[in-house]
Structure 1
Amino acid sequence: MADGHGLETDRAALIARYDLDAGGFATLDQITAFAAALCEAPIALVSIVEEQRQRFLARTGLDAEETPRDVSFCAHAMLGDAIFVVPDATLEPRFADNGLVTGAPFIRFYAGAPLIGGDGTPLGALCVIDDRPRADLTDLQRQGLTLLARQVMVELEGRRRDRAIIDQQEKDAQALFESDRMFRTLADTMPQMVWSTLPDGYHDYYNARWYEFTGMPFGSTDGEGWNGMFHPEDQDRARARWRHSLDTGEPYEIEYRLRHHSGDYRWTLGRALPIRDAEGAIVRWIGTCTDINDQILMVEEREVIAHELSHRIKNIFSVISGLIGLSAREHPEIRAVAADLRDRIMALGRAHDFVRPHSSHSRPDHGEGALWGILEQIFAPYRDALGPRIHFSGDNPAIDDRSATPLALLFHELATNAAKYGALSVLEGKVTIDVKGEDKNIRIDWREEGGPPAVPATSEGFGSRLMQLSVERQLGGRMTRDWRPEGLCLSLWIPARSMSRSPVGRA
């Protein structure tokens, strides 16, 4: 009895999940033996009804392993909710001409308990068969056959779950294999050296680029062998940095010298990031090594050129200062003006040297590329005499070569005036410089305290015009001055974009 092609297709797919071809139905054999004894029937079967046949997973009293579906009694039994009983098949029009009735095993009495899958799909029946007519099963036999049918489904659903678990494990294993194969293929096509480690840091994989670069035999650098590839002077530093990353989970990044297959050591950038599971635990580290030796050589060459160029520019500043000094000696009347001009030129020279490109060996000890750093350079001539009398507070924004020159001239004028007429002209005086972001501007407040009362100039001199030019024309900012009894208070508002091409300041 067919129940639609679509339904049969779905049933076939469901039945396949029970892994029935694997055999191993000893428990079901025990169930059919007990069912036959309980119902006092010579034959008991566990029948699974498929599209063209019914197969007997377990049988007692019958040699056949399967029969065609069109003669199946169980195909009818599986469609109901209760036990399906045929007291005398010869008297039942549906079965009177059935080959299993007219021929062996000469079915007369049939009782079948349906086997229903967990999703409600009919699978077959647990049945008992007799070659003699019977009115029915007893109540105990009905109850027993129903319970045994449920036990059959417990066994089958267990096999289904096991099969599902095995299938998922196989899929996971295949997915892992494919993922690993794709990772290794991708890693071998990358120009960088790629490596991976276990959570404890044990190196278990290197791509082809690693072995090409180092010339080492495959697998020879696994485990701790990798550290021996570094320059002896870099080994302790690299090991300590790697151990820190393993202990903290922080990204690993370091520059070291790695032994090339030629025997030379080449500068390399090493990086690694942790891979974490859903709970956040590190399950693996993936890292790269990038050959940066040529870039470092280029930087060193650029440093040499920059140093030579800077040296020549500073020589020009010195020559100009010398010419000014010579002119002052020949014309004593301009000596004071010449001294101011020479100081301004030397301030420009210090600003130039501060913002020129530096290597790791030539860069300033601190403050590179930031406002406080250049101010310390400008105030250097006053350092011995003034000590800590100039104080910085607030932010420390980035500067570059465009802002260095006007800033140097501006603060040189302020310091010079303070030393001549303001707070720095007396031992008790001091200057505070406070810097903070304000909207899209950098606000700088210069405050003098403890010196002579500030008195506005009766006329605007060259220094004042130079300061105004530096702030307004070159930096695009504005400036206010307040001559207070306790000292000059000057405020600057300079657009952040004029301070540095980089939008990021330093705190």
Structure 2
Amino acid sequence: MFRTIRDLWPRGDAPAAAFCGEDERLSVMASFGLDELEGDADLQRLVGFAARLCETPMAMVSIVEDARQRFLAREGLDIPETPRSTSFCATTMLHSEPLVVPDATEDERFAAFAVVTGAENVRFYAGAPLISSEGAPLGALCVIDTEPRQQGLTDLQREGLEVLADAVMRRLAQHRLDIAASDVIAEREKRLESIIDSVPGIAWSADHKANFDYFNARWKDVTGSEPPQIPADWRDFVHPDDFEKTHAGLSHAVEQSIPFENEFRMRQADGSYRWMLSRAVPLTGIGPTPRWFGTLFDIDEQYRLSESRELLAAELSHRIKNIFAVVSGLVAIKARNHPDAKDFAEDLSNTIKALGLAHDYVRPVEGRRGESLRDLLADLLAPYQDSAGERITVEGADSAIGHRAATPLALIFHELATNSAKYGALSCEEGRIGIVLRETEQDELSIRWEEFSEACEEAVDESHEGFGSRMLRLSIEGQLGGRFERRFSKEGLVCEIVVPRKSLTS
């Protein structure tokens, strides 16, 4: 079987006997798709050059079929075909070498042909056989004159005719390879389309402006309608409350050539709406502009299940907040009967309030609070801040905080602020605190807590690690996997806390 355009039948070899039978020969001929090569520009240039090289008024690429010979390209001849019964090329194609007929009236094989005895007045003929890579005879590249030429062709003309015949076969072979490649691609596309049609979701493709040119069969199954052609056409399928956001998001993604993801309600064939997850990505490198490929998957059950869980979580969150308030209230009530435990009760109540604040970051009850470390610090330290916002300053890199990190972080900074209010900078009117956040090369966040003021109360023993210090160490090292260092300077307390980024965002 042919593989490349270089797989030409060896010049000088007769056609293969196995492909000289008409059925076999015509079967090979059909694989070339010759109908598409009639008037081919490359072939036309070759026959024009053949006529000039051999100094003849006519030249043609002749393909010999079962009942006719037709001319894919021709020079100096008006008719596109002649009967096979009067074809010189039908004889030429069976030879291993070019056939030269100096005077057709003197050659018994051709003297009675109508093109010789009739108005065409064919006298001189020279043709080089066209043989496929399998060895099937197809026709010939020939030149014709109305005057006999006893000297035939010069050596240069003969060689040139053979070279041009090889060029003709390369053009035919290239076209056959193109057809075969197209068939392979079409078969692969058909298989791929079958695979895509079998997936449970909707798949689509579009050009760089999001003009949709393909939807798999699932679209019609789900919507019962013809697919959209441009983004605005989605208005008929996307829930009115979701359309503007979805349309704006896709338009932005197309403009920026960035991936798109969104959830929206899509109209079904029965008129109902179901939640869908839409994803689309631009694919570059396959043309001058990117193409878009996207999917739509039904997530209605998961969405509604998640929604019900959110409702449950919100209810639980509300109850937990109530429990914090109840416990704090009970502590305050009991403390009234125990004046000697007033300070302890106040500390405990403030700690419970800090836990309640941390809970807002874990599961907000109403709305959604900030999710950054700076937001948490601002909320926790707000009671100690002055009106100008200068008593406590926070500088440096911010960091997102996850649900697991919120509670230990709240306890850490509540403990530091409480101790500062009792014994440190916040116990003095002129005292202040500077917090510096810094990223390290080890993908950690360094938090430096520094107090500026001599204590207004007698400081606790630095060598003794009390309950507060143990809680700090437990929260930082045990829960967050970080490091904790505390020291006292002339100006006040300095705490260095280093926590891995992954612990903060978990």
Flag whether TM exceeds 0.5 (same fold).
yes
In the alignment, does 2:451 pair up with 1:448? yes
Q: 1:23 to 1:482 in 2, by over 3 A?
A: closer
Give 1:489's aligned amino acid: V
In the alignment, does 2:191 pair up with 1:182? yes
Structure 2 CA distance for aligned equivalents of residues 208 and 46 of structure 1: 49
Q: 1:451 to 1:175 in 2, by over 3 A?
A: farther
CA RMSD across the alignment: 5.3
Task: Please name the residue that 2:6 is paired with.
Answer: none
Q: 1:146 to 1:326 in 2, by over 3 A?
A: same
In the alignment, does 2:219 pair up with 1:206? no
In the alignment, does 2:289 pair up with 1:281? yes
2:439 to 430, 433, 436: 436
- TM-aligned CA deviation for residue 389 of structure 1: 3.5
Give 1:432's aligned amino acid: I
1:297 to 270, 293, 304: 304
1:266 to 259, 267, 274: 274
- TM-aligned CA deviation for residue 392 of structure 1: 3.0
Structure 2 CA distance for aligned equivalents of residues 37 and 348 of structure 1: 103
Give 1:330's aligned amino acid: N
Q: 1:197 to 1:3 in 2, by over 3 A?
A: closer
**Structure 2 unmatched ranges of 5 or more:** 1-10, 63-68, 75-81, 101-105, 112-124
Structure 1 CA distance for aligned equivalents of residues 270 and 233 of structure 2: 19
Counting only pairs closer than 5 Å after superposition, residues 306-455 of structure 1 correspond to structure 2 as: 306-356=313-363, 362-364=367-369, 366-367=370-371, 370-383=372-385, 387-424=389-426, 425-427=428-430, 429-437=432-440, 439=442, 441-449=444-452, 452=455
Give 2:263's aligned amino acid: E
- TM-aligned CA deviation for residue 263 of structure 1: 2.8
Corresponding residue SS for 2:209: coil
Q: 1:397 to 1:263 in 2, by over 3 A?
A: same
- TM-aligned CA deviation for residue 151 of structure 1: 4.6
Task: Please name the residue that 2:157 is paired with.
Answer: 147
- TM-aligned CA deviation for residue 77 of structure 1: 7.4
Structure 2 CA distance for aligned equivalents of residues 262 and 242 of structure 1: 26
Structure 2 CA distance for aligned equivalents of residues 20 and 270 of structure 1: 46
In the alignment, does 2:460 pair up with 1:457? yes
Q: 1:319 to 1:339 in 2, by over 3 A?
A: same
Task: Please name the residue that 2:256 is paired with.
Answer: 248
Percent pairwise identity: 31
- TM-aligned CA deviation for residue 393 of structure 1: 3.4
Corresponding residue SS for 1:379: helix
Give 2:213's aligned amino acid: D
Work out whether residues 56 and 143 of structure 2, in 8 Å CA contact, stay in contact via their aligned partners in 1: no
- TM-aligned CA deviation for residue 234 of structure 1: 2.6
Work out whether residues 114 and 125 of structure 1, in 8 Å CA contact, stay in contact via their aligned partners in 2: yes
Q: 1:213 to 1:454 in 2, by over 3 A?
A: farther
In the alignment, does 2:480 pair up with 1:478? no
Work out whether residues 89 and 142 of structure 2, in 8 Å CA contact, stay in contact via their aligned partners in 1: no
Give 1:447's aligned amino acid: E
- TM-aligned CA deviation for residue 286 of structure 1: 1.8
Work out whether residues 321 and 345 of structure 1, in 8 Å CA contact, stay in contact via their aligned partners in 2: yes
In the alignment, does 2:493 pair up with 1:488? yes
Counting only pairs closer than 5 Å after superposition, residues 224-235 of structure 1 correspond to structure 2 as: 224-235=232-243
Larger radius of gyration: 1
Give 1:295's aligned amino acid: Q
In the alignment, does 2:441 pair up with 1:467? no
Give 1:491's aligned amino acid: E
Q: 1:455 to 1:152 in 2, by over 3 A?
A: farther
Structure 1 CA distance for aligned equivalents of residues 33 and 502 of structure 2: 72
Task: Please name the residue that 1:95 is paired with.
Answer: none
Q: Deviations over 1:473-499 (max 9, x none)?
A: 444443222212223211123455544
Q: Deviations over 1:136-169 (max 9, x none)?
A: 95xxx764x62365156436624641x3453344
Q: Deviations over 1:375-400 (max 9, x none)?
A: 33322433565735333334444544
Structure 1 CA distance for aligned equivalents of residues 374 and 494 of structure 2: 19
Q: 1:377 to 1:175 in 2, by over 3 A?
A: farther
Give 1:351's aligned amino acid: A
Work out whether residues 194 and 286 of structure 1, in 8 Å CA contact, stay in contact via their aligned partners in 2: yes
Q: 1:321 to 1:277 in 2, by over 3 A?
A: closer
- TM-aligned CA deviation for residue 67 of structure 1: 8.5
Q: 1:180 to 1:413 in 2, by over 3 A?
A: same
Q: 1:159 to 1:235 in 2, by over 3 A?
A: same
- TM-aligned CA deviation for residue 336 of structure 1: 1.2
Structure 2 CA distance for aligned equivalents of residues 5 and 159 of structure 1: 15
- TM-aligned CA deviation for residue 229 of structure 1: 1.7
Give 1:254's aligned amino acid: N
Give 1:274's aligned amino acid: P
Q: 1:386 to 1:343 in 2, by over 3 A?
A: farther
Corresponding residue SS for 2:258: coil
Q: 1:185 to 1:416 in 2, by over 3 A?
A: same
Structure 2 CA distance for aligned equivalents of residues 142 and 101 of structure 1: 17
Work out whether residues 454 and 487 of structure 1, in 8 Å CA contact, stay in contact via their aligned partners in 2: no
**Structure 1 unmatched ranges of 5 or more:** 39-43, 49-54, 79-83, 85-99, 106-110, 129-133, 502-507
- TM-aligned CA deviation for residue 412 of structure 1: 0.5
Q: 1:181 to 1:168 in 2, by over 3 A?
A: same
Give 1:413's aligned amino acid: E
Q: Deviations over 1:286-306 (max 9, x none)?
A: 222222232222222112211
Q: 1:453 to 1:250 in 2, by over 3 A?
A: same
- TM-aligned CA deviation for residue 281 of structure 1: 1.6
Counting only pairs closer than 5 Å after superposition, residues 54-203 of structure 1 correspond to structure 2 as: 65=88, 75=96, 143=154, 146-147=156-157, 149-151=159-161, 153-154=163-164, 157-158=167-168, 160-161=170-171, 163-203=172-212
More off after superposition, 337-346 vs 287-296: 287-296
Q: TM-score, normalised by structure 1?
A: 0.68
Work out whether residues 443 and 500 of structure 2, in 8 Å CA contact, stay in contact via their aligned partners in 1: yes
Count of residues paired in the alignment: 447
Corresponding residue SS for 1:445: strand
Work out whether residues 394 and 435 of structure 2, in 8 Å CA contact, stay in contact via their aligned partners in 1: yes
In the alignment, does 2:244 pair up with 1:236? yes
Structure 2 CA distance for aligned equivalents of residues 208 and 126 of structure 1: 53
- TM-aligned CA deviation for residue 338 of structure 1: 1.0
Corresponding residue SS for 2:440: strand
